[in-house]
Homo-oligomer: A and B are copies of this chain.
Amino acid sequence: MNSFTEENYLKSIFKLSQKTDNGVSTNSIAESLETKASSVTDMIKKLSDKKLVNYKKYQGVNLTKEGKDIAVSIIRNHRLWEVFLVEKLNFKWDEVHDLAEDLEHINSKKLTNQLDAFLEYPKYDPHGDPIPDKDGNIHRHLDITLADLKTYDKGIVVGVKEHSKSYLNYLETINLVLGTEIKVNKIVDFDLSMSVEVNKKESVNISHQASKNLIIKKSN
């Protein structure tokens, strides 16, 4: 069995390794876990001894098959619990992350799979992130963001790339939840802010900062 701490390292390494093709650097792990590089080195050695990561000094790390399987199963747990909290217990999408961060470490294949069934095999969590299936397969959607759209393009909001409470909260105040239809009316070339039509109604102004974190499925 692995400790919560080890599991968090594996999850972090998994997420970071999706952004780079080479090994994941010690510093990037330290930053993502808000800890110090020296602590990371210690843990990497431990994970390496357990054959959960491949590690050569000064070269960064990569997950082994086994390490990756663990990371993915934790992410699966996390996202399933988020769905549960929102769909069944009436939490808001900006309230569920921290709780899921704890719940994800409850380690029981049966629990995970029964929860999955109970929720009727959801494909995405409340933030639009894909839920790995029982075999660890992840169907990620294309990463087109609102910022990538041109004037008069239309699409549907399918996810977010930024998960902070303040961002999610802001989106709700402008009625932007998953599934919302969106149409770009105008792009200000000075600051790249956009005037967009939400659900064929109100036209709101969205900063580049905000638009580049909204994942969109283009509808034409």
Interface, chain A (partner B; CB < 8 A): 85, 88-91, 95, 99, 102-103, 106-108, 110-111, 114-115, 118
Contacts and interface: CB of A to CB of B under 8 A. Distances in A.
Closest CB pairs A-B (n = 9) = A89-B114, A102-B106, A89-B118, A88-B118, A99-B108, A99-B111, A103-B106, A90-B114, A89-B115
Contacts of A90: 114
A64 B159 CA distance: 48
A75 to B, nearest CB: 18
> Which one of A107, A108, A115 has the highest number of Cβ atoms from chain B below 10 Å of its Cβ?
A108
Nearest to A108: B99
A118 B91 CA distance: 12
Contacts of A118: 88-89
A70 to B, nearest CB: 17
Contacts of A89: 111, 114-115, 118
Given A91-B114, A95-B110, A99-B108, 14 more contacts: A85-B111, A88-B118, A89-B111, A89-B114, A89-B115, A89-B118, A90-B114, A91-B110, A99-B106, A99-B111, A102-B106, A102-B107, A103-B103, A103-B106
A116 B88 CA distance: 12
A90 B110 CA distance: 10
Nearest to A116: B89
A91 B106 CA distance: 16
Nearest to A111: B99
